[in-house]
Structure formats: structure tokens, C-alpha cells
């Protein structure tokens, strides 16, 4: 997608006209979701709502806001994902800031939250609390979603990226969860101390050789370290599977991991070799194997 060189800048105009022009540009450029992207960009940078578009279509938008919308459209037409431009994404009902060091959380990962939550709730029912370790926390999406659903739980979000940890901490503060969320710089288990009831992770799982075949919006804008799973895509699962026993409470809840396409059997084998004999497979809304849960015996 490229902005046509002859595209004229947007001029001060009405809310409805801005929506039409933004949608036209995105449609002509072949953007997959032109109407949605146009609405999100216009609403965000004009400070208006979907309701106002319906009830106040002739509302005049200030020149500064029109300029911001025009700049945002140019970024979208150049291939930048709409939520990167907005600087945030909704996940599990939570408003999460994004940064260059964080993976953009996708709806499929909500399957991981849903699959992990019963482990957390069962632990809280048994112990009164639950200590969660989120490996590769990124925006903090998974840990913060679990904390929002389980008020008695606490979580540590580990990541090797200082940028990601700062973003996760900011998200925790914005959601009022900072008193139960601890960001920690750690290369997987390297700086982890103590034991946890539940370990959860959405690790990098794309085989290195497949990275260049990803959609440009993923390949060019998500951090490579959050995508690259090594030669066979399984490197992180070996690290987690090998180290988890030392950091799980005896009789704790268990481990839950997101997986890529066709990885269920291989990942299950890795964990079963490490003594996790039971496995649950959870599918996403598209019917694909998306999450494996290994409850503690």
C-alpha cells in the first residue's frame, strides 16, 4: 500500500466528509478493513465518537485535527497497522498502550486468558491468592487480563525488553492494577526468584525461516524478538518446559502456553518429556489449536 503522490491533503471539513474521504483512500489502496480503519482514525484524532458521527455528521472538525487525520492516513497507507498509529489496542476489555518493543496483542490470545483463568480461580479458591508468572509479558496483556478477572491474584511480568516492561508498567498503572503487578527484566527464568502457582506465556513461535513470509503489518512492525521462535519455532517451549518445574509451587495450578499452527503435538511432547503428563488443548474462535494447558498433577 502506497500513498498516491497526487493525493491532496485533507482540508477542514465535516465529520461525515472526513469519514467518506478516509474510507475512499483506504479502499483505493486495498486496505483490508477500510471502513473500520477510517472510523478508528477519524474518531481518535478528531476526539469524536461513533455516536457523534451518527448524530452530528455536519460537525466541523478543527484544522489541527484534520491535519492529524491526514498524517495518520498516510501512515496507514504506507502499511503501518492502525493500532500502532493509535498507540493502543483493546484486549479482553482492557485499554492497552503499545510501544515499539511490544507485540500487538491479538484477539486469538484471549483464548490463552480464558484457558488459564480456571487454574487461577482454582488456586485462589484453595489458597486465597494465586501467584502468576507471565513470561514474555510485552504489554502485560495476559497478566493484566488475568488480574482484572481475579482480584485476589498477583502477577510478575517478565521480559527482556526494557521498553516492553515500561509499557506493561504504564498499562498496569492505567488500569489500577500496579499494586498487584511487578515488571521484571529477565531472559526467561534467568532472574526469576521463588515459586509461582501458574506460569503463562505467549512466546515467540514463528520458525526463523518463515518470518519473511509474514504479513507486512506483522513482519515490519512487531518486534522481531517477539516473533522469532528459532529454526523450528520451538526454542522458547524447550526453555520453558525445561525450567518450569523449579519455579512452580508443588501442587500448583500449572502452565499454559499459546502455540502456532500445527505445533500442538511437538509442544505437548516437549512438556510431557519434562514430567507434565496431562495436557488440555484449547481452540481459538477460528477452530485452530491455540493454547496448551499442562495442569499440575
Separation between Cα atoms, residue 162 and residue 181, nearest integer Å: 16
The predicted structure's pLDDT at residue 8: 57
DSSP-derived secondary structure for 196-217: BSEEEE----B-GGGGGGS-HH
- Please write the tens of the pLDDT for every residue from 42-96: 999 999 999 999 999 999 999 999 999 999 999 999 999 999 999 999 999 999 9
φ/ψ region of 158 (left if φ > 0, alpha if ψ in -120 to 50, else beta) reads beta
pLDDT band of 4, cuts 50, 70, 90: very low
The predicted structure's pLDDT at residue 277: 85
- Would you say how long the chain is, in residues? 297
Q: How far is CA 150 from the centre of its chain?
A: 19
Separation between Cα atoms, residue 85 and residue 70, nearest integer Å: 12
Counting beta carbons within 10 angstroms of the beta carbon of residue 94, is it exposed (0 to 12), middle (13 to 18) or buried (19 or more)? buried
Separation between Cα atoms, residue 258 and residue 270, nearest integer Å: 14
pLDDT band of 251, cuts 50, 70, 90: confident
Domains and CATH numbers, the chain: 15-86 (1.10.8.10), 100-295 (3.40.50.150)
Amino acid at each position: 500500500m502506497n500513498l498516491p503522490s497526487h493525493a491532496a491533503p485533507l482540508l477542514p471539513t465535516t465529520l461525515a466528509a472526513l469519514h467518506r474521504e478516509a474510507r475512499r483512500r483506504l479502499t483505493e489502496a486495498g486496505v483490508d478493513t477500510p471502513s473500520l480503519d477510517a472510523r478508528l482514525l477519524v474518531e481518535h484524532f478528531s476526539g469524536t465518537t461513533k455516536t457523534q458521527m451518527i448524530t452530528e455528521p455536519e460537525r466541523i472538525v478543527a484544522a489541527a485535527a484534520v491535519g492529524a487525520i491526514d498524517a495518520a492516513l498516510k501512515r496507514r497507507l504506507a502499511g503501518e497497522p492502525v493500532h500502532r498509529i493509535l498507540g493502543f489496542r483493546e484486549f479482553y476489555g482492557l485499554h492497552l498502550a503499545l510501544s515499539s518493543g511490544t507485540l500487538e496483542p491479538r484477539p486469538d490470545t484471549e483464548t490463552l486468558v480464558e484457558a488459564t483463568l480456571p487454574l487461577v480461580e482454582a488456586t485462589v479458591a484453595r489458597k486465597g491468592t494465586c501467584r502468576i508468572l507471565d513470561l514474555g509479558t510485552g504489554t502485560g496483556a495476559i497478566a493484566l487480563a488475568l488480574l482484572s478477572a481475579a482480584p485476589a491474584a498477583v502477577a510478575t511480568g517478565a521480559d527482556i525488553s526494557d521498553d516492553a516492561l515500561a509499557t506493561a508498567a504504564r498499562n498496569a498503572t492505567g488500569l489500577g492494577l500496579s499494586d498487584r503487578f511487578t515488571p521484571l527484566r529477565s531472559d526467561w527464568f534467568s532472574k526469576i526468584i521463588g515459586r509461582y502457582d501458574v506460569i503463562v506465556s505467549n512466546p515467540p513461535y514463528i520458525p526463523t525461516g518463515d518470518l519473511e513470509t509474514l504479513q507486512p503489518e506483522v513482519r515490519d512492525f512487531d518486534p522481531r524478538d517477539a516473533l522469532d521462535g528459532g529454526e523450528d519455532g520451538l526454542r522458547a517451549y524447550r526453555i520453558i518446559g525445561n525450567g518450569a518445574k523449579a519455579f512452580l509451587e508443588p501442587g500448583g495450578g500449572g502452565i499454559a502456553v499459546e502455540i502456532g499452527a500445527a505445533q500442538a503435538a511437538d509442544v505437548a511432547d516437549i512438556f510431557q518429556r519434562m514430567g507434565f503428563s496431562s495436557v488440555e488443548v484449547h481452540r481459538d474462535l477460528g477452530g485452530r489449536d491455540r493454547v496448551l494447558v499442562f495442569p499440575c498433577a
